[in-house]
Structure 1
Amino acid sequence: MGSGWRREFMNIGFIGTGVMGKSMVRHLLKGGHTVYVYNRTKEKTDELVQEGAIWAEAPKLVAHQADVVMTMVGYPYDVEEVYFGSEGLLEHAKPGTVFIDFTTSTPTLAKRIYEAAAAKGMSALDAPVSGGDIGAREARLAIMMGGDEEAFGQVQPLLQLLGTNIVLQGPAGSGQHTKMCNQIAIASNMIGVCEAIAYAKTAGLDPEQVLQSIATGAAGSWSLSNLAPRMLQGNFEPGFYIKHFIKDMKIALDEAERMKLELPGLSLAKQMYEELAARGEESSGTQALYKRYIQE
């Protein structure tokens, strides 16, 4: 889109400035945009405000100011509250507003937001992302989109500030379905990564040297290259929280059940992560699954 579009959409709202959201706001600010931020824990926006973002006291105040409103919150019930609550976005946004929900949520809720927005002369795109804290920080996120082509085209210049792999998968809900495919692939793969590293250590090998051999071969994966080194360093800080991964796996299993599709690998991964969460690891990164195999 041309410079006219950029002038029209200079005001962006961003709700949810957690691990990934904070980096995404920084990229929007660097892109020259005015960004209004809201987070339930105000302190999580302090750094961003110092860097030029504008604090809003409530989601409705973000909606009053912004032409494009982006959300990245924790759970589907958070999405529902932010969009449909009496103080929420749909009640207070201007006609013509484009909503982009980066939260991994349910396809059903994505369709509901789309329909409610359309009824008010607004547009909504579901846009879950993959790439974790590293992808957000380096603006290399994969962004999986659902919604109308026109709205997708309007916001592409903004999305290109955040990611490098941006695909419109189909109508509303398609982005969320695609993210479920992503999470299903990660879930079983994470078990394999942990077991490979645990095997290497138990066999008396140098796990870092093993990684050099296997990360670029047929076993290669994002988790093997990016999270296995964290496992070996004992770094279990969240790039992506276990509690949020469990939420995603539940959504995927519910959708699969509705489609009468069995996913035994995903079911096993969910069970293993729930056991880990019960041991107090729900706010650790997903790589903490390694603790189930090796106690340093």
Structure 2
Amino acid sequence: MIGMTRKIGFIGLGKMGRRMARVLLTKGFPLVVYDIRDEAVNEAVKLGAQKASSAKEVAEKSEVIMSSLPTPRDVEDVYLGKNGVLEGIKPGSVIIELSTIDPGTSIKIAQEAAKRGAHYLDCPVSGGPEHAEKGELTIFVGGDYEAFKSVEEILRVIGKNVNYIGKTGAGNIVKLTNNIMSLLNILVASEALVFGVKAGLDADALFNVLNTGAGRSYIFTACFPRVLEGDFRPHFSLDYAIKDLGIALDYAKKLKIPMPMVSLAHTLYQMASATGRGNDDFTAVICLLEELSGVKVRSKKTSSDT
């Protein structure tokens, strides 16, 4: 495999990043890793990774630099800040940026990378930790096509569906569009289930019949069994939902397009977070609607105190 002959750097070993790094390591790819948390780095080192002391050092020791980070500001700091990637990057290197960020940040970093003879690809991923663990993510790629082809083999190790979209920022736009659909889908389904249960229907029976109807969706089928069980352990946190919708709204302002439903959804997720559920799964937004309606959408098999 060509990719195994190239030294890969990986920055950001959080919930998603450490799983992607682990998949690469188990497939035999040599990694240099960096994270602000020593315990995350040490976990990767035990699997065979080499430790770096900064993002700059990662770039100095790598031909391909991958990153998975929480916010656009974190991405900008890692690439453009002091001891950042672009201080150590070599001509011909390829950046694979996997975070959910705005297109403007990607374009800014891509332009600076190009000045140093390097390529930048925005490659945000879709799918939770369970998909990252199995190397079954969906990846949306924006940037130079030849640069994409040069690292496609690496992307296909962590992604089951790898989609080249177009110019720099195109991957970010698709990811934001995907998250708008997913996050609003959860809200609509939550409101509908609260309505049905408040009207006297059994939550299990309602879910089962809706799951055969025209209103069902992948996210309804995948997420709401956990809601019925009262399981709000974070696969994708409510506060990350707020972050992503905020990015989408900021970009919509630049495009001068109204997004009234996204604005309302953003507010509802913020209200749910304000009740202390920000670190819970984003499906916990249903708890806000339940509290306002005086009902809980839970399976009869689930304890009444969830």
TM-score (norm 2): 0.90
1:130 to 112, 126, 134: 126
Deviation at 1:216, TM superposition (A): 4.6
Structure 2 unaligned residues grouped into runs of 5+: 291-295, 297-305
Which amino acid counterpart does residue 183 of structure 1 have in structure 2? Answer: N
1:161 to 157, 160, 164: 157
- Residue 197 of structure 1 corresponds to 193
Sequence identity percentage: 37
Deviation at 1:272, TM superposition (A): 0.5
- Residue 92 of structure 1 corresponds to 88
Which amino acid counterpart does residue 14 of structure 1 have in structure 2? Answer: F
- Residue 180 of structure 1 corresponds to 176
Q: Is 1:271 the counterpart of 2:229 in the alignment?
A: no
Q: Secondary structure at the match of 1:17?
A: coil
Which amino acid counterpart does residue 266 of structure 1 have in structure 2? Answer: V
Q: Is 1:241 the counterpart of 2:241 in the alignment?
A: no
Q: Is 1:83 the counterpart of 2:79 in the alignment?
A: yes
Q: Secondary structure at the match of 2:247?
A: helix
Cα distance between partner residues in 1 of 2:42 and 2:286 = 34
User: Which residues in structure 2 correspond to 1:112-131 (within 5 Å)?
Assistant: 112-131=108-127
Cα distance between partner residues in 1 of 2:193 and 2:40 = 35
Q: Secondary structure at the match of 2:138?
A: strand
Structure 1 residues 164 and 216: alpha-carbon distance in aligned structure 2, compared to 1, 3 A threshold:
farther
2:246 to 247, 250, 253: 250
Stretch moving more, 218-227 or 13-22: 218-227
Cα distance between partner residues in 2 of 1:30 and 1:264 = 45
Alpha carbons 2:4, 2:30 under 8 Å: kept = no
1:27 to 7, 23, 27: 23
Cα RMSD (Å) of the superposition? Answer: 1.7
- Residue 259 of structure 1 corresponds to 255
Which amino acid counterpart does residue 280 of structure 2 have in structure 1? Answer: S
- Residue 220 of structure 2 corresponds to 224
Cα distance between partner residues in 2 of 1:276 and 1:46 = 35
Deviation at 1:150, TM superposition (A): 0.5
Structure 1 residues 259 and 234: alpha-carbon distance in aligned structure 2, compared to 1, 3 A threshold:
same
Cα distance between partner residues in 1 of 2:225 and 2:40 = 28
Cα distance between partner residues in 1 of 2:189 and 2:31 = 39
Structure 1 unaligned residues grouped into runs of 5+: none
Which amino acid counterpart does residue 51 of structure 2 have in structure 1? Answer: W
Alpha carbons 1:72, 1:103 under 8 Å: kept = yes
Which amino acid counterpart does residue 287 of structure 1 have in structure 2? Answer: T
* Superposed CA offset, 1:131-160 (max 9, x none): 122221232211111101101101111111
Which amino acid counterpart does residue 271 of structure 2 have in structure 1? Answer: E
User: Which residues in structure 2 correspond to 1:41-56 (within 5 Å)?
Assistant: 41-56=37-52
Q: Secondary structure at the match of 1:182?
A: helix
Alpha carbons 1:59, 1:88 under 8 Å: kept = yes
Structure 1 residues 139 and 212: alpha-carbon distance in aligned structure 2, compared to 1, 3 A threshold:
farther
1:101 to 72, 97, 114: 97
Deviation at 1:230, TM superposition (A): 1.6
Cα distance between partner residues in 1 of 2:256 and 2:242 = 21
Alpha carbons 1:256, 1:263 under 8 Å: kept = yes
Alpha carbons 1:197, 1:228 under 8 Å: kept = no
Structure 1 residues 251 and 217: alpha-carbon distance in aligned structure 2, compared to 1, 3 A threshold:
same
Aligned residues: 292
TM-score (norm 1): 0.93
Deviation at 1:221, TM superposition (A): 2.1
Alpha carbons 1:75, 1:244 under 8 Å: kept = no
Structure 1 residues 232 and 45: alpha-carbon distance in aligned structure 2, compared to 1, 3 A threshold:
farther
Stretch moving more, 192-201 or 241-250: 192-201
Q: Secondary structure at the match of 1:13?
A: strand
Alpha carbons 1:241, 1:282 under 8 Å: kept = yes
Radius of gyration: which is bigger? 2
Deviation at 1:65, TM superposition (A): 1.5
Structure 1 residues 157 and 184: alpha-carbon distance in aligned structure 2, compared to 1, 3 A threshold:
same
* Superposed CA offset, 1:139-196 (max 9, x none): 2211111101101101111111111221111110111111111121122211112123
- Residue 3 of structure 2 corresponds to 6
Alpha carbons 1:193, 1:223 under 8 Å: kept = no
Q: Is 1:288 the counterpart of 2:288 in the alignment?
A: no
Stretch moving more, 126-135 or 200-209: 200-209
